[in-house]
Chains A and B, each alone.
Chain A
Amino acid sequence: MKRLDVIVIGGGLLGCFTARNLCRWDLTVALLEAREDVCTGISRANTAVVYPGYDHKPGTLKAELTLRANRAFGMLCADLDVPFSRCGSLMVACGEQGEAVLRKKLRNGLESGVPELRLLKRAELLELEPELTPEVTLGLFSPNAGTVNPWALGIAAMENAVQNGAEFCANTPVTAIRETEGGYLVETEGETFFTRAIVNCAGLQSVAVQELVYPSPVRLRITAGDYLILDPLTAHAPKHIVQFEPERGKGLTAVPTVEGNLLLGPSERAGSDFGTDRDGLDFVRALTRKVLPKVDLDDTIRTFAALRPNPERPDGSSIKSFVIDRPAERFWSFLGVKTPGLTCADELGLYVARQTAEALNAKENPAFQPVRKGIPKTHALDFAARQGLIAEDPEYGNVVCFCEDVTLAEIRAAIRAGANTVDGVKRRVGATMGRCQGSRCRLIIEELLREEGVYEG
């Protein structure tokens, strides 16, 4: 039986970052993921925003971690070789009620210490972001908000953990957990592991995983939201993240992504799978027409849905804070972490990793290497650098995904780094994400998966 110090259950953003941070101590770590790859659950779809921290009550863990995470995000992404755009955000209002919300957020933010926050009147707003509706009356500008691709971040964290000695086990759903002398027995469909401690990062399944061995103090109400992605060539995309909260109900976030697309969403509705919903998409379209009236929604290249776990007390009341439960000395559970989970993933991972290390009396790992090098992004290189790569490997000269300019060498590298589906390749190097949605490169990628021995037949 394999013996470990810590098993992390669930390879979403939190699991990947918990594993990464556990490697800062002298611990043996395994990350168990039920599905074929990391970031296939909650982390596969979200708004991709790195929040500045004014949304939360000052003094709470959420406010503290978001603020710290935002400050450190540039360094984190530099360490992990992940593109990050600190494009800034504008939360806008069209009327007095909305303005009151902005003023409250400003007070929150100032009290929490969010830097460089300020209110902008209509004329300043339109000067900064001419694509906004002229109906805006006030905006809260935060130059420190940013955007990152959640998969890129999760994959980078997982690879960094593996590089530091953690073991990643895909297709390994946990079927039972039993307390035993000095730790736990974790049964999976394949083998059984012994571990001294467990960190449950199972996202949508987090309550179910905890209930394999302990009762859960909360339950999860799952909601869904719909998004649209527009072609990078669309005219009138905003340069900043634009957030709009109407007088009533759920708002809209528009994000100029690191890939150059415009992401619009989400709606909020009942739902328990990743299927999109007509009313939900229509809701996003209607708000977009109101807030960014010049955006042409015919430039949509993809729609998708996200799932969110909403933690609730047994009486049905909702919980705003992060629920980090510790039902036993050596068992931690993230129960239903949603926004700002992407922003705080590394901070939350470190928060629990530190407690775990203390509980296990682990020493710091002096060999921990925080820097991870990703697959070279050919399209981002200048002529000379790209020429140099082709000289090393001619497959860098062979473009397979025309829309996103992704080469054969990058796709092969993605497969060798663990991509075992076309989606896995997409999440690692961006192929099939463009305006033709893989209609011209999917077959070539499938052939490569066969050539590399991942696909059979």
Chain B
Amino acid sequence: MKVDLLIIGAGAAGLSAALGAWEAGCRSILIADRRSHPGGILEQCIHHGFGADLTGPEYAAMLFSQIQKTGAELRMETEVLSISPSREAVLSSGAGLERVRFSHLILAAGCRERPLGALNITGTRPDGVCTAGQAQEMMNLHDRDPGERILILGSGDLGMIVARRCVLRGKQVIAILEQAERCTGLAKNYHSCVEAHSIPLWTRTTVTELHGEPRLTGVTVRELDSGAERFVPCDTLLLATGLIPEQTLVSNLGTPPWLHLVGNCNRVHDLVDSAAHEARIIGSEIIKKA
């Protein structure tokens, strides 16, 4: 197969890039995504605040309905295994492997979360420790709880939104821990998540050690200014410690002129609207310049 534009990722950025390219006149677009439904991470973001105060799935549905009016081809449950410098991608799905040649490639693969192993936290490796995004997926897509008595490390937007979700599901959020002097996320999330639900925010603190096996029984919390450490009992630690743009697929390619990164795999955006807007412009410009 040969296409003018191959887009990897059918989240907000990938779909928006496709819309931009279609509007600019591109008539040969293939979007590949590993998930079963388009929308990417929006699917698990069931809170309001996307676009004109939509939920994540509503925002995704809006973009999807626009894509359906174009001739862009969408392939779900399709993993891109590799991309060669000679502009060929290998796609894998239940139907088999396929080589796809392309003129331009847009990578819209989002980001991944920084895992426990990358943090300087010692101790055991018990159950009950996961990333905030994983907890969000667990609660919002699988209707399961990550635990009962929860600490959250990191006060970015994801940490705060997941903290609120835990509270709304009747769980005890003992505190959100933040190394900086104040909350690092958006003010609107601070007000609607932390303040509105009276979730304690412990600034200038971090977690240094995990305890328990097989399940977490507590963590050592350190106050960064005094150096004082104390044991805080909990059965769950959620890590909201940073998002890393997912560029693995193109890590060995350098920066060829046909490769374009959009959305959170380019840089982490605070708001989906800005990621989508930027992607739409890039999608359009690639085609206009070509």
Question: Is the CB–CB distance between B113 and A439 below 8 Å?
Answer: yes
Question: Is the CB–CB distance between B81 and A439 below 8 Å?
Answer: no
Question: Is the CB–CB distance between B113 and A391 below 8 Å?
Answer: no
Among B115, B120, B131, B208, the most chain A Cβ lie within 10 Å of the Cβ of B115
Residue of B nearest to A228 (CB): B117
Question: Is the CB–CB distance between A301 and B117 below 8 Å?
Answer: yes
> Does residue B134 face the partner (Cβ distance < 8 Å to A)?
yes
Given A275-B124, A398-B77, A399-B79, the answer on whether A390 and B96 have CB atoms closer than 8 Å is: yes
Measured CA separation A439–B99 after assembly (Å)? 29
Question: Is the CB–CB distance between A383 and B130 below 8 Å?
Answer: no
Question: Is the CB–CB distance between A383 and B97 below 8 Å?
Answer: yes
Closest CB-CB distance, A423 to chain B, in whole Å?
A: 10
Question: Is the CB–CB distance between B34 and A402 below 8 Å?
Answer: yes
Q: Which residues of B contact A113 (CB under 8 A)?
A: none
> Does residue B112 face the partner (Cβ distance < 8 Å to A)?
yes
Query: Interface segment, A82-90, A182-190, A276-284, A337-345?
Result: A276-284
Question: Is the CB–CB distance between B122 and A387 below 8 Å?
Answer: no
Residue interface bits B109-146, CB-to-A below 8 A is 1, else 0: 00011011110101111000011011001100010000
Question: Is the CB–CB distance between B134 and A442 below 8 Å?
Answer: yes
Question: A residues 263-279 with Cβ under 8 Å of B?
Answer: 273-278
Question: Is the CB–CB distance between B34 and A439 below 8 Å?
Answer: no
Measured CA separation A112–B116 after assembly (Å)? 44
Measured CA separation A403–B118 after assembly (Å)? 15
Interface size range on B against A: 35 or more
Residue interface bits B179-203, CB-to-A below 8 A is 1, else 0: 0000000000000000000000000
We find that the number of chain A residues with CB closer than 8 angstroms to chain B is 37
Q: Which residues of A contact B66 (CB under 8 A)?
A: none
Q: Which residues of A contact B124 (CB under 8 A)?
A: 273-275
Measured CA separation A274–B112 after assembly (Å)? 27
User: Of B118, B122, B138, which is within 8 A of A278 by CB?
Assistant: B122
Residue of A nearest to B93 (CB): A397
Residue of B nearest to A304 (CB): B125
Closest CB-CB distance, B211 to chain A, in whole Å?
A: 8
Question: Is the CB–CB distance between A229 and B117 below 8 Å?
Answer: yes
Q: Which residues of A contact B122 (CB under 8 A)?
A: 275-278, 281, 303
Residue interface bits A53-71, CB-to-B below 8 A is 1, else 0: 0000000000000000000
A-B contact pairs, 17 of them (CB 8 A): A273-B213, A277-B122, A300-B117, A301-B115, A301-B117, A302-B115, A383-B97, A386-B92, A397-B92, A397-B93, A398-B92, A436-B113, A438-B115, A439-B112, A439-B115, A439-B131, A443-B134
Residues of chain B whose beta carbon lies under 8 Å from any beta carbon of chain A? 34, 77, 79, 81, 90, 92-97, 99, 112-113, 115-118, 120, 122-125, 130-131, 133-134, 137-138, 142, 208-210, 213, 248, 251
